[in-house]
Amino acid sequence: MPTEKDVINSLKSVQDPELGRDLVSLGMIQDVKVQSGNASFTIVLTTPACPLKAQIKEAAKQAVASLPGIETVEVKLDSKVKAMPGAREDEVLPGVKNIIAVASGKGGVGKSTISVNLALALAQEGAKVGLLDADIYGPSLPRLIGTTQRPVASNGKIIPVEEYGIKLLSLGFMMPDDAAVIWRGPLVSGAVKQMISDTDWGDLDYLVVDLPPGTGDAQITLAQTVPITGVVIVTTSQDMALNIAIKAAQMFKRMDVPIIGIVENMSYFICPHCEGRTDIFSHGGGEKAAEWLDVPIIGKIPLEPEVVIDSDKGVPTVIARPDSPQAEPFKEMARKVAARISVTACVKVDAVIK
């Protein structure tokens, strides 16, 4: 009769496709039990948004089922998001494991829509998520999320607004809709730093930071205040947007912030009548930027009228129509972001150990 050790040994043949190592050496196998021909164990994934969890579960099940004497196999899935080395020791945000910046070189590429749906899609997968709107001059989070709540203070800390299962903070929650922010650079930097460090974010797997366009005070302040896990660069496919997006990415590289990948927003349009595809902003631009920066494309989001309608109503698409074709590109993007972060975290942990 196989033993628990036999089960563990059989699972050494099963690799996490993203991490390129077996489940046992990654410490992902727990609670192994064998009794009367029945084997059970838990796989602890590096993120609840793992895009290949079904594949990993099935491969593990088959590996154990092949042992002589094993009649049934029960596999449970759990997850524990890895923190980047140094993240837990960070005095500013000790409970936040990963900080994801979402940036673009220019405005008008739909960066805030990407940020909101990315955060919500990660939360729908089971992660603990926060979203910070760091665009001081043009905060759009209150309108996109559809709430008029105001954050409160407790014990000298700002308590974020909570909506749809995520924690939210924006200067837009604290000011009238028609109020213009007329601040010079130092005030902008101070506001961004305060919303980061003077906020009780609690324990989060991911804090998504929606940055303003460009390469200015907000971006520099964020990079100098907290350890950023990585940045998602949002662009459209036309040459002007791509050129500026590459410059934004180069800025983060100079500050030693990893580039998670490129999201090509409004990538194409599918006619609802003839189902023909039209490339509104040309074709292949995202690939050019990704090749130039040596990073992957982690999302191609089509131009969909429903997404615009949802945003105007203040109900993001992954909430308004979670099982729709319109929501799926956002969910796939979130899974790829989570997978890239897991790979980066494991690589850095190995480097620290060595």
Domain range annotation of the chain = 4-79, 99-353
Q: Are 51 and 339 in contact (CB under 8 A)?
A: yes
90: pLDDT strictly greater than 60: no
| 136 vs 180: CA distance, rounded Å | 10
DSSP-assigned states of every residue in 247-263 = HHHHHHHHTTPPEEEEE
Q: Give the CATH fold of the 99-353 domain.
A: Rossmann fold (3.40.50)
What is the rounded CA–CA span in Å between residue 93 and residue 166? Answer: 17
- Which two tokens mark 180? 């213009």
Compute the distance between CA of residue 214 and CA of residue 128 in angstroms, rounded to an integer.
28
Q: 21: which 2 tokens?
A: 């190592």
Q: What is the pLDDT of residue 346?
A: 62
**For 146-159, what is each residue's pLDDT tens digit?**
988 899 999 989 99
Comparing CA positions, the residue from 45, 42, 35 lying closest to residue 2 is 35
**Distance of alpha carbon 4 from alpha carbon 35, whole angstroms:** 9
- Nearest CA to 60 among 75, 78, 39? 75
Q: Mean pLDDT, to the nearest integer, of 195-220?
A: 89
Q: What residues contact residue 72 under an 8 Å CB cut-off, 6+ apart?
A: 37, 38, 39
Q: Mean pLDDT throughout 60-86?
A: 91
| CATH number listed for the domain at residues 4-79 | 3.30.300.130
45-59, 194-208, 216-230, 337-351: which has the minimum mean pLDDT?
A: 337-351
Overall pTM surpassing 0.85 (yes/no): yes
The answer to whether 195 and 151 are in contact (CB under 8 A) is no
* Arithmetic mean of pLDDT, 334-354: 71
Q: What's the CA gap between 245 and 240, in Å, rounded?
A: 9
3-state secondary structure of 120: helix
For 123, phi and psi rounded to 5 degrees? Answer: -65, -40
* Amino acid at position 42, single letter: T
Lowest mean pLDDT among 81-95, 245-259, 273-287: 81-95
CA distances (Å), 101 to each of 129, 165, 220, 230, in order?
13, 20, 12, 6
Q: How confident is the model at residue 86 (pLDDT cuts 50, 70, 90)?
A: low
Q: What is the largest CA-CA distance in the chain?
A: 74
pLDDT of 238 above 90: no
Chain centroid offset of residue 10 CA = 33
Burial 122-135 (b: 16+ CB within 10 A, else e): bbbbbbbbbbbbbb
